[in-house]
Amino acid sequence: MTNLIVFVKKYFGLCFARALTAVRASRNVAPGLRRESGVGKVTYDRETKMRRTACCLAFLAATSLPAFARNFEFLAAPQTDLNRVYRVDRLTGEMTACQYGPKEGTFGRTVCFGPGEGARAQDPSDFGLIASRHEREAGVFRVDYRTGAVSICYVFEDKVVCTPSEKAVIPR
């Protein structure tokens, strides 16, 4: 039984080994604990407290951070007579767009356009969307906040296409 406990501690860490150490009947106090003299109270030693705290913080970070992450950013086209919404994947920069389409006998339908040339996934970065203030502009700007690169994306035929990304060069 002791070899199994050593194996579990070594490969799975203290968090999982605690369940096996409780099985030991030969000791009154599990490893990493100490009994206070005269009180009958059990406390953790400093190393065990640090490991438990690290395990708890790692668990909280792994479970709560994805809830705050936004995978997509949405932006309406600036054109005033067009009901189109663009979507960018914030990590890959992949672009899509959707808009209202009439359909006989119903209220209508959602028509979506997949990524075409230049709008497919890029190298991972931090992408976003910016609209111009032109009321007749049907496209939006895809920006890479890490590199400063900008491309213009719009719907062409049945796909979203984007111009090649460019970064402004500042003359010195």
Give CA torsion, residues 53, 55, 59, 60, to 10 deg.
Answer: 10
Asked, for residue 168, whether it belongs to a domain, the answer is no
Q: What is the reported pLDDT for 169?
A: 74
Instruction: Choose one of 68, 83, 100: the last residue of a domain.
Output: 68
Residue 162: Cβ within 10 Å count: 25
Asked, for residue 96, whether it belongs to a domain, the answer is yes
Question: Are residues 124 and 78 part of one domain?
Answer: yes
Question: Are residues 81 and 153 part of one domain?
Answer: yes
| Host domain of residue 8 | 2-68
The closest alpha carbon to 91, from 116, 58, 66, 57, belongs to 66
Q: Is the pTM of this model over 0.75?
A: no
Question: Are residues 54 and 12 part of one domain?
Answer: yes
Instruction: Choose one of 42, 68, 94: the last residue of a domain.
Output: 68
Question: Are residues 84 and 152 part of one domain?
Answer: yes
Q: What is the reported pLDDT for 33?
A: 55
Q: How many domains does the chain have?
A: 2
Question: Are residues 11 and 33 part of one domain?
Answer: yes
Instruction: Choose one of 68, 100, 126: the last residue of a domain.
Output: 68
Give me the tens of pLDDT residue by residue for the chain, a chain 172 residues long: 555 555 545 555 544 445 445 444 334 555 555 555 555 555 667 777 777 777 666 666 655 554 455 799 999 999 988 899 999 999 999 999 999 988 888 889 999 999 999 999 999 999 999 998 888 888 999 999 999 999 999 999 999 999 999 987 777 7
